[in-house]
Structure 1
Amino acid sequence: MVGYGMTPPSFEWPNGAKIAINFSIEWHEGGENSVDNEAAFHRGAYEGRRDLFVESLYEYGTRAGLPRVLRLFQEFGYSFSTWTNARALEATSYYGPHLVAGGHDIAAHGNRWITQTELLGGPEEEARHVAQAIDRLRAATGLQNVPTGWYYGRGTLYNKHILAKVHRDKGVPLLYSSDTYADSLYLQYYVEHPFTLDGEEDEGLLMIPYSLTNNDHRFYTKGAGFACSDDFFNLLKAEFDELLEEGRAGQPKMMTIALHSRIIGRPGRITAIRRFMEHVQNSGEAWVTTRDKIAHHFREHFPYQAPTRTLHE
């Protein structure tokens, strides 16, 4: 509940950068709830019937939005992290080689776009989904060390334990979890490793917080949402400038920008990201990178130290 308190850790990002920037692409398209994916009908569909108009909104993400996003990142030479729904990448496997060639971090956003708490088979069924997700992401990318981390956003209370166990069974390192919004500075921290529940040594699990603030889903949010690209750009710029000043004061920070290709991939919205990238580039003090590289850097400079007291006395 306190976190780093008044003394966040002082360290350096590579090349003396004062702030680390991570763009995260949530990849749902092709894995959303639909008849094709043998899941419940997509939200917005009429009960018992498909809504092809809603489905076509998602299809826009991979037909038009994602190519526009990939070209923009290629133009700036930046790599992003993907919160990839495994079925989605399987359904659009054309993009697998593009992700690998661009050096993008392949992380997982579930197997299919379903809520794990609603699985009738309990932990065993959830573990099967995790295993299938790993297999699908490996097949789509040709990489054997993916996914590097997870952001469920809708997992069960025991999902971290299941993820760690399946990753170990598959021989895939679990570098981090982003199922947390707990640090407003988006700075990494550790929690006790789930295997301590099994009496094993506590090696720590690195948490890299995610953002619902710097998130393009707010184009669809009423009230505090974004009306135009200027809204999104102004928020990103303001947060970047503030965190940059904190970094210059000796406490480097991390900033996450969450994107969806079907949302930000619209021409009138992606200009916000282009303008922000130009602003970041002009600062000359930012490290634009992937979450797996951030995880490796943080682990190297701050090895896990198990707590000296029990959390529940």
Structure 2
Amino acid sequence: MALSFDVDNETAPFCQNTTSPGYIAQAHYGARVGLPRIMSLLKEHRARASFFVPAVSILLTPEAIEAVQAEGHEIGLHGWIHERCGDLAEGEESELAERSAAVLRRYTGLAPRGMRTPWWDVSGRTVPIARHLGLMYDSSMMADDEPYEVLDRGERTGVVEIPVAWIRDDAPYFPDDPAARQVLAPRQVLQIWKDEFDGARADGGLFQLTLHPHVIGRRSRALILRELLAYIDSRPGVWFATHEEVARHTGSRLGITPAIESDIIRSGSSA
């Protein structure tokens, strides 16, 4: 069970040049209410998770990231301000990745071990940048149900991919935009995720879930997260693992040597 949260908060409107106080307040719900509610649920079920955080989210609410780290959860890269990699020039993508890693290192004291690209948008430069940063894994692509090694132009990279999927993401079911109509009730989504988990457990494989504090943190949606965690917790033989732990486990099976941190990350240079 690889549970993850993308802590987008205000970067969700900012990255789209939206400065309306109403939209910003809607996104700030994630830091103000959603994240504390999620942290309580995870503690209740003794479940560890991975939190992917844009650097700007860290700068806006550093105390929230401190609380996440204090509970033993992993914190990974999620861009600078939730930008799309495909919209960036080569130098821009690399610069923002390095700046983001420096911010994460400054506020956590640890080098990031993995990343999730904003919007799950990956350019031809993204994997080389991940290797340059010394990352063990990425969690942005969808080529399998199970973790696999990413290739770059046919060559092994040593980067483990922990695949995501829209069916295991809360955002498509519960859109922020009122014009994008919510088509399923929370309990219908709960059933989909239960079925996905049951399938993964039957295969002895991975159940990975991507959630957002400003989305899943609403009361009726937090309720189904509680029920899902209780359902999973009641099944024997389930390992609640961070994405880093999944990457290490996969790497050991594939003969991958963990990446070495780059000088950029080791130096702890600030943004």
Q: Does 1:236 align with 2:216?
A: no
Q: Tell me which residue corresponds to 1:180.
A: 141
Q: Tell me which residue corresponds to 2:169.
A: 215
Q: Tell me which residue corresponds to 1:277.
A: 229
Q: Does 1:126 align with 2:93?
A: yes
Q: Tell me which residue corresponds to 1:254.
A: 206
Separation in 2, partners of 1:192, 1:302: 13
Q: Pick one of 73, 82, 85 that aligns with 1:113.
A: 82
Higher mean displacement: 202-211 or 66-75: 202-211
Q: How many residues align?
A: 253
Q: Pick one of 245, 249, 265 that aligns with 1:297.
A: 249
What is the TM-score when the length of structure 1 is the normalising length?
Answer: 0.74
**1:203, CA displacement in angstroms?**
4.8
Higher mean displacement: 101-110 or 67-76: 101-110
Separation in 2, partners of 1:40, 1:273: 28
Separation in 2, partners of 1:212, 1:109: 17
SS in 2 for 1:284: coil
Separation in 2, partners of 1:78, 1:56: 29
**1:242, CA displacement in angstroms?**
2.2
SS in 1 for 2:66: helix
Q: Is the 8 A contact 2:7 2:213 kept in 1?
A: yes
SS in 1 for 2:143: coil
Q: Is the 8 A contact 1:176 1:208 kept in 2?
A: yes
Q: Does 1:85 align with 2:54?
A: yes
What is the identity, as a one-letter code, of the residue corresponding to 1:207?
E
SS in 2 for 1:67: helix
SS in 1 for 2:6: strand
User: Residue 212 and residue 193 in structure 1: after superposition, are their counterparts in 2 closer, same or farther (change >3 A)?
Assistant: same
What percent of counterpart residues are identical? 22
Q: Is the 8 A contact 2:6 2:211 kept in 1?
A: yes
**1:83, CA displacement in angstroms?**
1.9
**1:125, CA displacement in angstroms?**
1.8
**1:147, CA displacement in angstroms?**
4.4
Q: Is the 8 A contact 2:85 2:117 kept in 1?
A: no
User: Residue 158 and residue 52 in structure 1: after superposition, are their counterparts in 2 closer, same or farther (change >3 A)?
Assistant: same
What is the TM-score when the length of structure 2 is the normalising length?
Answer: 0.85
SS in 2 for 1:24: strand
Q: Which runs of 5+ in 1 are unaligned?
A: 1-20, 43-49, 168-172, 197-201, 247-251, 306-313
Runs of 4+ in 1 over 4 A off after TM superposition: 193-196, 221-226
Q: Is the 8 A contact 2:13 2:24 kept in 1?
A: no
Aligned CA RMSD, in angstroms, stands at 2.4
SS in 2 for 1:192: strand
SS in 2 for 1:60: helix
**1:215, CA displacement in angstroms?**
1.2
1:127-173: per-residue Cα shift (whole Å, max 9, x none)?
A: 11011000111122222x224333341232211112322x1xxxxx3
Q: Does 1:24 align with 2:15?
A: no
Q: Which runs of 5+ in 2 are unaligned?
A: 258-271
